[in-house]
């Protein structure tokens, strides 16, 4: 591969980048997407999973609320397989001003976000674990959004329309022709091969890393990285997305996401989006806030903690609290800003509005690609969502019913069968268990890979995908990577699990003495 | 009811203690929340496999080195003679498994990843996998049995650090047609017991194995008739056949549990599962009765002594809450091996030394939990097994060894308090 | 409201111990195993009904919960999922029928000879199998004709002794009233006055057949009958281990009944062997046992072990001279209440029981002991030996049969007293 050509080169494989690639491909542009790591390995794959109704922004940021509800309605149709219609509940706990509920209702009314106050008793009937001392409760159409399915759905859909999706391809430099960006010099992180990609328009969709990409074209994009911490709990403590009815703050969302439920989030400015250290005080903060929403939360089992970085675009002076920086997206045409043509940056925003962001970016790209072409992403379903059937929690369980024990289940927590695993290995052509994890949720359940990772390694190896050394390496890498998210929340039941996993990996299999 | 000793925990340490006490005529009750780690860990007795980074060849001498530098280690409370006696005793009591080996040298048995792992004792169905003499090996897997991957074993073994050259290859067999898919090791073991799987295996292997190859199979050769099946395979195939430990469940471990439990049953000792010890009635520093919660309430069992073998963090003998407090769950006993309060409990790298990993109960030489001043918390409470602090058994490869040795020694302390007192006075 | 059953899934570390002990998943692929349908599948069950019908193949024996070292309420999770399943689908007629032993009992008792003929007639059973789904070969007890309740009305025991309350359950009432009389005799022999309150089914079969609302109604009705005695501080004894466990624990844990009266009854409830052993600990049990030169294999049923009381029957019978009890080491006989009666599950239940049957047969004894009635019927069906409640052995050892003024039991050999079910030559009429 010496060089590639495209109308549009997208840098960044999160929801924005994948959305842009899909949008451009659907409009008939030849498109290439590069991502330095795996798709959705940055901010998108680390967000809480809330498909906003807009309720959260109804008071503070009405325009964001309007965008959210509009996109929420679109994604329920076009990305149905990624969306679980859990519904959302805003509750006033004893720590929240019940008067805020009136502002909240008013804000929702003004922004077209359907909201309805229900009696507290009804709210508790629907969510029996929620703090019985709540004073008000409101229903909104929040939903749960699976970020990996979303990004891969976009990527597959883009590929079906001729796009090339290149994960593990790092942009080393942008190619300039005078004051024009004409492509990028990239390196495959897997093979080490370097090559050029020439494109008429380069769209920088690197999110929190967008500043780093812009630097390569000597442009300035001020993106602050707002780190948010999330903790996944072992099972659904709530069935709806439960929000505190107050001005958005730390630890005020608890939502079901697939088999787990997730509490989020915090907001801490970090100088480097790649440096996200999980601090004990943030864990404690989330657990304490969780306790306010669901009494007994501290005794419930935490599975895993992780941090994501929000790209917060700021065009003006410094702002102390990152949450007050606008969540609405920013589209920067660097020709008008810095006189650099062929180069757009789309950043800020939120996963819920990724499609809208992509539309804006590709609309702008059209101007440099010979005139407008209509956007089709609001109508065309994503790959995997063609049936418009919304995801349901019981799908994997139901799929196994017709023929009992028809094949082996490799990951028992997440009900991943051998054929699904083998298919994913083939499809991704990967040697990394972590890639498989993001595709299938391998090892994301209670045992955090204690049982399935040995099995998956064996299958990866036996299928000839990796040699013995590669198999050992991905196994060890996986254990290290997993530990990063596990050790900050190790207590109670999850420590029991971790100790059993130690016995399995070290006591029984003796992984420390693998020949590598 | 009134007992000589109440044992809490039905893992290897608890069963060992209970059996030794029962043999000496004691009236013993075993209570446990469920069955223990026997069902998960291979039935090998791992006394000491690693001393730091060095693989241990002679556990007896390495244990001496270990305790010289680490006084809090559970092995620090027993003599070399006691350790050897414990293994001898265990070998005869678990006779159904025909253990091979001893405290003077470690076998090197392949794990399911193909890593040579040191063990002092192994059931004879497994001991043929000893890699020290080198040779040619074939590892046999069953298609559809997810807990054992022979190719990975063979490829890793071929690159393992071993005293003599080893050649290894893998062979995968289709289980006979008509069998269900996704069988657990337990189900396959059941079929080895009740159906003619061994005949199938012999036929399947006969023409596919070289005359000088040793044959490694997943440790699923049956429960009740495993030894018989293994003998038949060796005899009929004319080659060394051995079982390799799989992911849990551990079929040889269940055999071990069954052997010890049936010995206890034969002498009338009751193992009550599904209940939990919640505390005790004490008087003057002695436990007089153990409180056990069952279906409806709490029953008090009067007893002269108690063995606490409720396990470590994995089994709920120890707990860490979300506020960072660690406690022993029945008596809130003092703990040793704790991280200093201002230090993190967990290090960021998975293979780093983890500060909390040696946490547990500290004891005197009679395995009585002691307080900070070294005095026993209760004069007749003894602890054994994974609840003991001072060791990192999964790293040292010492878990089953500690359980057998300390279970044996705790029972010994109960049986001979007078003798113990004398020896203490002498020291 | 905290959901303690569901929350217990948090303790699951996937260790597979429950799977190694599950008797059902060992013999059939139709049941994916306790870990799968329990703590694992529960994470996939939303607010609505379960999408996994395979949970219905759980027999509810409860062994998984007993062996789980992490306190996961596996069987209880399964039981609830089953109920939700049937809530959605509607409980089939068959399950409704076999779940109501009192209704069956009341129908069958007045016409016992006819009903017994029908129960053991192959042609009729074939019809029943195809129409209702009760397996033609499933073990069926015989109606005794005159219920224990009726018999006990004509019994005059001591009037001034300390009282115990006898919760006899449906099995004793309709099918084994003789056992009930032995219970009374043994308790009276130990100086008690036995109160037999009016009583109905405990609701257990309804619970295990997925009809929780009806089961709750039965529990409440029964508790109403028993609670005045519990309030008076009287112990309640039961010879039915499963019905006793229902009141001890399951009504609260599985059916979720939060009720002070139930709690009081639970705390007053004793398995009869547990009760007698406690007497013995206090030195209050009469030990005037005669010789009983028999070798008898003993099977502690799953539900008995759920009590967490050890095996008091063996401790008691160890007091009987020349009686050699063999403690069997098999988890389950397969029947699990009504599970093994069902057409689609009969073969599974028999496969589960095979090891127990083989072990009993291997002892060479023509007599076996077991605390639970349905298990005794299954054992008799699977082995052909006579299966008796441990109380019957105590009764014999006390020599109570011989001293019985009415001569009701004493003149017949032990095996005949306890003739197993399905043996159509059993002369039920002779009991009166």
Q: How far apart are CA A30 and CA A159, in angstroms?
A: 10
Q: How many structural domains comprise chain B? A: 2
Residues B272 and B341 reside in one and the same domain:
yes
Q: How far apart are CA C339 and CA C348, in angstroms?
A: 9
Could you tell me if residue B305 is inside a domain?
yes
Q: What is the pLDDT of residue C137?
A: 92
Residues B309 and B365 reside in one and the same domain:
yes
Task: Say if residue C418's pLDDT is above 50.
Answer: no
- For B184-219, the pLDDT digits (tens) are 999 999 999 988 899 999 999 999 999 999 999 999
Task: Say if residue C405's pLDDT is above 70.
Answer: no
Chain B nearest-CA residue for C276 = B1
To the nearest whole Å, the CA of A471 is away from the closest chain B CA by 8
Mean of pLDDT values over A317-339: 68
Decide if C45 and A500 are in contact by the 8 Å CB cutoff. Answer: no
Nearest to C10 among A404, A413, A493 (CB): A493
Task: Say if residue C419's pLDDT is above 80.
Answer: no
Indicate the average pLDDT of chain B: 94
The residues spanned by each domain of chain C are 4-89, 285-431
Indicate the average pLDDT of chain C: 89
Decide if B247 and A502 are in contact by the 8 Å CB cutoff. Answer: no
> Does residue A285 sit at the B interface (CB-CB below 8 Å)?
no
Q: What is the full DSSP assignment across A408-447?
A: -EEETTTTEEHHHHHHHHHHHT---HHHHHHHH-TT-STT
Could you tell me if residue B247 is inside a domain?
no
Which of B212, B239, B266 is the last residue before a domain boundary? B239
Chain A partners within 8 Å of C81 (Cβ): none
Q: Among B127, B105, B101, which residue's Cα sits nearest to residue B214? A: B127
Q: Which of residues 439-478 of A touch B (CB under 8 A)?
A: 451, 454-455, 457-459, 461-462, 467-468, 471-472
Could you tell me if residue B66 is inside a domain?
yes
Task: Say if residue A319's pLDDT is above 50.
Answer: no
Residues B389 and B282 reside in one and the same domain:
yes
**A278 and A488 in contact (C-beta within 8 Å)?**
yes
For residue A508, give the DSSP letter: I
Chain A partners within 8 Å of B310 (Cβ): none
**How many CB atoms are located within 10 Å of the residue C346 CB?**
21
Nearest to C44 among A393, A404, A497 (CB): A393
Q: What is the full DSSP assignment across B6-17?
A: EEE--SHHHHHH
For chain B, the chains sharing at least 3 beta-carbon pairs closer than 8 angstroms are A, C
**B162 and B131 in contact (C-beta within 8 Å)?**
yes
Helix, strand, coil percent content, chain B, rounded in steps of 5: 35, 25, 40
Q: What is the pLDDT of residue B239?
A: 95
Q: How far apart are CA B146 and CA C409, in angstroms?
A: 58
Q: Among A25, A48, A24, A44, which residue's Cα sits nearest to residue A35? A: A44
Q: How far apart are CA C333 and CA C373, in angstroms?
A: 12
| Phi, psi for C20 (deg, rounded to 5) | -70, -20
Pairing of strands C294-299, C367-370: parallel
Q: Among A455, C276, A9, which residue's Cα sits nearest to residue B141? A: A455
Nearest to A451 among B156, B247, B316 (CB): B247
List Cα–Cα distances, C69 to A301, C64, C429, in angstroms. Answer: 17, 10, 49
Task: Say if residue C193's pLDDT is above 60.
Answer: yes
Residues B303 and B370 reside in one and the same domain:
yes
Q: How far apart are CA C374 and CA C243, in angstroms?
A: 11
Task: Say if residue B10's pLDDT is above 80.
Answer: yes
Task: Say if residue C2's pLDDT is above 70.
Answer: no
List Cα–Cα distances, C251 to B234, B273, C80, C214, C374, in angstroms. Answer: 53, 21, 12, 12, 20
Chain C nearest-CA residue for B224 = C355
**B368 and B379 in contact (C-beta within 8 Å)?**
yes
Could you tell me if residue B214 is inside a domain?
yes
Decide if A509 and B111 are in contact by the 8 Å CB cutoff. Answer: yes
Q: Give me the residues paired with residue C269 across strands.
A: C236
Domains of chain A from N-terminus onward: 79-144+224-307 (3.30.9.10), 395-513 (no CATH)
Rounded to the nearest 5 degrees, what angle is found at the Cα of C41, between the Cα atoms of C39 and C44?
115
Decide if C329 and B1 are in contact by the 8 Å CB cutoff. Answer: no
For chain A, the chains sharing at least 3 beta-carbon pairs closer than 8 angstroms are B, C
For chain C, the chains sharing at least 3 beta-carbon pairs closer than 8 angstroms are A, B
Q: What is the pLDDT of residue C424?
A: 35
To the nearest whole Å, the CA of A129 is away from the closest chain B CA by 19
Q: What is the pLDDT of residue B424?
A: 52
Q: Among A434, A511, A393, which residue's Cα sits nearest to residue A83? A: A393
Mean of pLDDT values over B82-88: 97
Higher pLDDT, C313 or A397: C313
Rounded to the nearest 5 degrees, what angle is found at the Cα of A302, between the Cα atoms of A296 and A305?
130
Residues B351 and B286 reside in one and the same domain:
yes
> Does residue A421 sit at the B interface (CB-CB below 8 Å)?
no
Return the CATH number at B410: 3.50.50.60
Task: Say if residue C403's pLDDT is above 70.
Answer: no
- Residue B362's domain spans which residues? 2-94+255-426
Indicate the average pLDDT of chain A: 94
Tokens 């004893």 map to which residue? Answer: A94
Q: What is the pLDDT of residue B342?
A: 57
Tokens 């007795």 map to which residue? Answer: B45
**C129 and C342 in contact (C-beta within 8 Å)?**
no
Task: Say if residue C408's pLDDT is above 70.
Answer: no
> Does residue C71 sit at the B interface (CB-CB below 8 Å)?
yes
Which of B187, B208, B239 is the last residue before a domain boundary? B239
Which range is least confidently modeled, A494-508, B230-244, B411-425, C287-301? B411-425
Q: How far apart are CA A127 and CA A243, in angstroms?
A: 12
Is domain C4-89 annotated with CATH 1.10.150.120? no
To the nearest whole Å, the CA of C282 is away from the closest chain B CA by 9
Nearest to B275 among C70, C308, C329 (CB): C308
Could you tell me if residue B71 is inside a domain?
yes
Q: Among C295, C329, C32, C16, which residue's Cα sits nearest to residue B224? A: C329
Q: How far apart are CA A131 and CA C10, in angstroms?
A: 20
- For A163-188, the pLDDT digits (tens) are 999 999 999 999 999 999 999 999 99
**B3 and B303 in contact (C-beta within 8 Å)?**
yes
> Does residue C419 sit at the B interface (CB-CB below 8 Å)?
no
> Does residue C34 sit at the A interface (CB-CB below 8 Å)?
no
Chain A partners within 8 Å of C30 (Cβ): 404
* CATH topology agreement for domains C4-89 and C285-431: no
Can you give the pTM of this predicted structure?
Answer: 0.94
To the nearest whole Å, the CA of A134 is away from the closest chain B CA by 24
The region, left, alpha or beta by phi > 0 then psi within -120 to 50, assigned to residue C254 is: alpha
Pairing of strands A253-257, A241-244: antiparallel
- For C320-354, the pLDDT digits (tens) are 999 999 999 999 999 999 999 999 999 999 999 99
For residue A244, give the DSSP letter: E
pLDDT band for C96, please (50, 70, 90 cuts): confident
Tokens 């080996």 map to which residue? Answer: B101
Q: Among B360, B322, C8, B311, which residue's Cα sits nearest to residue A490? A: B322
Q: What is the full DSSP assignment across B44-82?
A: -B-S-SEETTEEPS-HHHHHHHHHHH-TTSGGGGS-HHH
Nearest to A394 among C6, C7, C46 (CB): C46
Q: What is the pLDDT of residue B178?
A: 75
Tokens 């127990």 map to which residue? Answer: C356
Task: Say if residue B425's pLDDT is above 70.
Answer: no
Residues B270 and B323 reside in one and the same domain:
yes
Could you tell me if residue B403 is inside a domain?
yes
Distance of CA A271 to the CA centre of its chain: 21
Mean of pLDDT values over C380-403: 92
Q: Tokens standing for C416? A: 């005949």
**C-alpha gyration radius of chain A:** 23
| Phi, psi for B218 (deg, rounded to 5) | -60, 145
> Does residue C406 sit at the A interface (CB-CB below 8 Å)?
no
To the nearest whole Å, the CA of C279 is away from the closest chain B CA by 10
Helix, strand, coil percent content, chain A, rounded in steps of 5: 40, 25, 35
Residues B60 and B191 reside in one and the same domain:
no
Provide CATH code, domain C285-431: 3.40.50
- For A296-313, the pLDDT digits (tens) are 999 999 999 999 999 998
Chain A partners within 8 Å of C50 (Cβ): 394, 397
- For A209-257, the pLDDT digits (tens) are 999 999 999 999 999 999 999 999 999 999 999 999 999 999 999 999 9
Residues B406 and B270 reside in one and the same domain:
yes
Residues B306 and B340 reside in one and the same domain:
yes
> Does residue C70 sit at the B interface (CB-CB below 8 Å)?
yes
């Amino acid at each position: 591969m010496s060089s590639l050509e495209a109308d549009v080169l997208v840098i960044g494989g999160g929801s924005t980048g994948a959305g842009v690639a899909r949008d451009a491909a659907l409009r008939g542009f030849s498109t290439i997407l590069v991502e330095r790591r795996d798709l959705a390995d940055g901010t998108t794959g680390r967000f809480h999973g809330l498909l906003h109704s807009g309720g959260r922004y109804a008071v503070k940021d009405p325009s964001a609320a309007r965008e959210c509800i509009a996109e929420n309605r679109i994604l329920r149709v076009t990305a149905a397989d990624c969306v679980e219609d859990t519904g959302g509940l805003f509750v006033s706990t004893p720590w929240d001003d019940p008067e805020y509920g009136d502002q909240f209702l008013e804000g929702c009314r003004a922004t077209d976000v359907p909201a309805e106050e229900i009696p507290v008793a009804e709210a508790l009937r629907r969510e029996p674990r929620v703090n019985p001392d709540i004073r008000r409760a409101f229903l909104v159409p929040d939903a749960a959004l699976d970020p990996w399915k979303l990004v891969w759905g976009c990527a597959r859909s883009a590929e079906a329309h001729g796009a090339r999706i290149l994960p593990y391809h790092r942009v080393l430099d942008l190619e300039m022709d005078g004051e024009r960006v004409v492509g990028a010099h990239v390196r495959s992180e897997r093979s080490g091969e370097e090559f050029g990609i020439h494109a008429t328009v380069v769209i920088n969709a690197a999110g929190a890393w967008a500043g780093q990409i812009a630097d390569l074209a000597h442009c300035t994009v001020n993106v602050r990285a707002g780190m948010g911490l999330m903790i996944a709990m072992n099972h659904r403590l709530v069935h709806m997305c439960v929000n505190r009815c107050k001005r958005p703050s730390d630890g005020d969302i608890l939502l079901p996401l697939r088999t787990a439920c997730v509490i989020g989030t915090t907001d801490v400015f970090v100088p480097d989006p790649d440096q996200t250290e999980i601090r004990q005080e943030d864990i404690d903060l989330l657990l304490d806030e969780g306790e306010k929403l669901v009494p007994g939360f501290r005794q419930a089992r935490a599975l895993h903690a992780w941090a994501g970085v929000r790209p917060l675009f700021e065009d003006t002076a410094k702002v102390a609290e990152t949450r007050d920086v606008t969540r609405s997206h920013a589209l920067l045409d660097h020709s008008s800003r810095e006189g650099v043509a062929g180069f757009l940056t789309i950043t800020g925003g939120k996963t819920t509005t990724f499609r809208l962001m992509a539309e804006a970016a590709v609309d702008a790209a059209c101007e440099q690609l010979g005139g407008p072409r209509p956007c089709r992403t609001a109508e065309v379903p994503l790959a995997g969502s063609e049936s418009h059937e919304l995801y349901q929690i019981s799908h994997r369980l139901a799929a196994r019913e017709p023929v009992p024990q028809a094949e082996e289940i490799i990951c028992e927590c997440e009900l991943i069968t051998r054929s699904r695993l083998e298919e994913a290995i083939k499809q991704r052509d990967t040697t990394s268990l972590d890639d498989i994890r993001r595709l299938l949720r391998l090892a994301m359940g209670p045992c955090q890979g204690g049982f399935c990772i040995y099995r998956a390694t064996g299958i990866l190896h036996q299928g000839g995908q990796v040699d013995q050394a590669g198999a050992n390496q991905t196994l060890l890498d996986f254990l290290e990577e997993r530990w990063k998210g596990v050790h900050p929340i190790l207590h109670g039941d999850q420590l029991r699990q971790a100790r059993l996993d130690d016995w399995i990996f070290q006591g029984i299999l003796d992984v420390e003495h693998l020949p590598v | 009811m009134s007992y000589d000793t109440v044992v809490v925990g039905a893992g290897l340490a608890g069963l060992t203690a209970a059996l030794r006490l029962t043999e000496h005529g004691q009236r013993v009750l075993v209570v446990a929340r469920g069955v223990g780690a026997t069902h998960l860990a291979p039935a090998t007795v791992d006394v000491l496999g690693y001393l730091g980074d060095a693989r241990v060849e002679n556990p007896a001498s390495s244990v001496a080195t270990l305790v010289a530098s680490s006084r809090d280690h559970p092995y620090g409370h027993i003599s070399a003679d006691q350790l050897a006696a414990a293994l001898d005793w265990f070998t005869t009591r678990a006779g159904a498994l025909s253990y091979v080996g001893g405290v003077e040298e470690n076998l090197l048995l392949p794990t399911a990843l193909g890593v040579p792992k040191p063990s002092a004792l192994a059931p004879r169905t497994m001991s043929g996998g000893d890699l020290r003499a080198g040779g040619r090996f074939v590892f046999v897997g069953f298609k559809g049995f997810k807990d054992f991957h022979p190719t990975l074993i063979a490829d890793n073994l071929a690159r393992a650090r071993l005293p003599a050259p080893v050649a290894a290859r893998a062979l995968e067999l289709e289980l006979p047609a008509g069998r269900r898919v996704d069988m657990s090791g337990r189900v396959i073991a059941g079929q080895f017991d009740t159906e003619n799987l061994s005949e199938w295996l012999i036929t399947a292997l006969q023409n596919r194995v070289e005359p000088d190859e040793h044959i490694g199979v997943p440790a699923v050769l049956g429960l009740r008739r495993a030894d018989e099946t293994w003998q038949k395979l060796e005899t009929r195939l004319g080659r060394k056949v051995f079982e390799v430990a799989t992911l849990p469940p551990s079929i040889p471990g269940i055999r071990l549990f069954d052997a010890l439990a049936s010995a206890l049953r034969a002498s009338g000792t009751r193992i009550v599962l599904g209940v939990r010890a919640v505390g005790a009635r004490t008087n003057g520093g002695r436990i007089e009765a153990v409180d056990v919660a069952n279906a409806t309430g709490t029953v008090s069992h009067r007893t002269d002594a108690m063995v606490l073998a409720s396990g470590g963090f994995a089994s709920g003998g120890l707990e860490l809450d979300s506020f960072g407090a660690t406690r022993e769950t029945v008596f809130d006993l003092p703990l040793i091996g704790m991280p200093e309060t201002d230090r993190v409990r967990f290090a960021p790298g998975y293979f780093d030394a983890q500060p909390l990993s040696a946490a547990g109960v500290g004891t005197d030489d009679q395995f009585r939990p002691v307080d900070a001043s070294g005095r026993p918390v209760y004069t007749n409470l003894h602890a054994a097994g994974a609840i003991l602090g001072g060791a990192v058994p999964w790293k040292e490869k010492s878990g089953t060894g500690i359980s057998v040795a300390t279970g044996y020694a705790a029972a010994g302390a109960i049986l001979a308090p007078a003798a113990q007192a004398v020896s203490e006075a002498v020291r | 409201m905290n959901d303690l059953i569901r929350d217990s899934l948090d303790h699951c570390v996937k260790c597979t111990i429950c799977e190694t002990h599950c008797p059902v998943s060992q013999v059939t692929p139709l049941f994916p195993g306790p870990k799968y349908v329990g703590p694992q599948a529960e994470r996939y069950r939303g607010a609505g009904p379960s999408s996994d019908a395979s949970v219905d193949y759980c027999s509810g024996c409860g062994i998984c919960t007993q062996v789980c070292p992490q306190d996961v309420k596996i069987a209880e999770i399964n039981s609830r999922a089953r109920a939700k399943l049937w809530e959605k689908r509607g409980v089939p007629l068959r399950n409704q029928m076999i779940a109501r032993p009192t209704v069956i009992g009341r129908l069958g008792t007045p016409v016992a000879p006819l009903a017994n003929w029908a129960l053991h007639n192959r042609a009729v059973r074939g019809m029943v199998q195809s129409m209702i789904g009760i397996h033609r070969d499933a073990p069926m007890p015989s109606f005794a004709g005159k219920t224990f309740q009726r018999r006990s009305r004509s019994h005059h025991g001591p009037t001034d002794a300390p009282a115990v309350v006898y919760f006899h359950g449906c099995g004793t009432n309709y099918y084994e009233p003789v056992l009930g009389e032995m219970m009374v005799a043994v308790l009276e022999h130990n100086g008690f006055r036995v109160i037999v309150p009016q009583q109905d089914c405990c609701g257990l079969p309804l619970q295990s057949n997925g009809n929780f609302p009806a089961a709750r109604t039965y529990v409440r009705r029964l508790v109403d009958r028993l609670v005045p005695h519990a309030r008076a501080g009287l112990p309640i004894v039961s010879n039915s281990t499963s019905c006793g466990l229902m009141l001890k624990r399951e009504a609260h844990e599985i059916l979720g009944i939060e009720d002070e009266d139930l709690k009081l009854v639970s705390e007053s409830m004793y398995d009869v062997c547990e009760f007698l052993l406690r007497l013995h600990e206090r030195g209050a049990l009469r030990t005037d046992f005669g010789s009983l030169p028999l070798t008898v294999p003993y099977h502690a049923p799953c539900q008995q072990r759920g009590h967490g009381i050890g095996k008091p029957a063996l401790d008691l019978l160890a007091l009987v001279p020349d009686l050699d009890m063999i403690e069997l080491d098999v988890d389950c006989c397969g029947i699990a209440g009504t599970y093994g009666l069902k057409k689609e599950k009969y073969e599974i239940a028999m496969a589960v029981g095979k090891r127990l049957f083989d072990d009993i047969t291997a002892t060479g004894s023509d007599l076996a002991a077991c605390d639970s009635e349905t298990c005794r019927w299954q054992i008799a069906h699977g082995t052909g030996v006579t299966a008796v409640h441990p109380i019957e052995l105590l009764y014999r050892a006390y020599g109570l049969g011989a001293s019985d003024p009415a001569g009701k039991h004493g003149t017949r050999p032990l095996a005949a007293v306890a003739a197993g079910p399905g043996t159509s030559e059993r002369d039920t009429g002779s009991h009166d």
